[in-house]
Amino acid sequence: MPTVEHIQESIATQLAATTQTGIALLPIRRRDVGDFIGYCGLIVGRATVEEPEIAYELFRRAHARGYATEAARAVLDAAIATGRTRLWSTVRTWNAPSFRVLEKLGFARDHVSTDDRGELVWLTCVLP
């Protein structure tokens, strides 16, 4: 688990990046309850601001109810509205739920790279 200080630093870095790029990670709230259950959005990550990465993370208690897919679809639509034509995602090989979310959104595997944490699968989605 990362430390609270590490997460605070990474949130500050993300917010600073948003002022430069105009893309962001956004909170996911359930309409009926209004509670915060995770985030989803676009980041430059390992890609570019023109063809950014989609990213998401939800609390465990909110998993497996379709929330990540619903949120990611909304982000995809927003990316289309900005005129973007392609998105990327990088996923560790063990992350079956994330692969499934991307599959449901129409992402396809492009290539695999390796870093100090092991293999990383690159998936891409051409936007209409």
Residues in touch with ligand COA (CB under 6 A): 56-58, 63-69, 91, 95-98, 100-101
- Least Cβ distance, residue 61 to ligand COA (angstroms): 10
Instruction: For residue 80, give the 3-state DSSP assignment.
Output: helix
Nearest CB to ligand COA, comparing residues 58 and 76: 58
Beta sheet of 53-58, edge-to-edge order: 25-29, 36-43, 53-58, 86-92, 118-126, 108-115
Nearest CB to ligand COA, comparing residues 29 and 63: 63
- Least Cβ distance, residue 6 to ligand COA (angstroms): 16
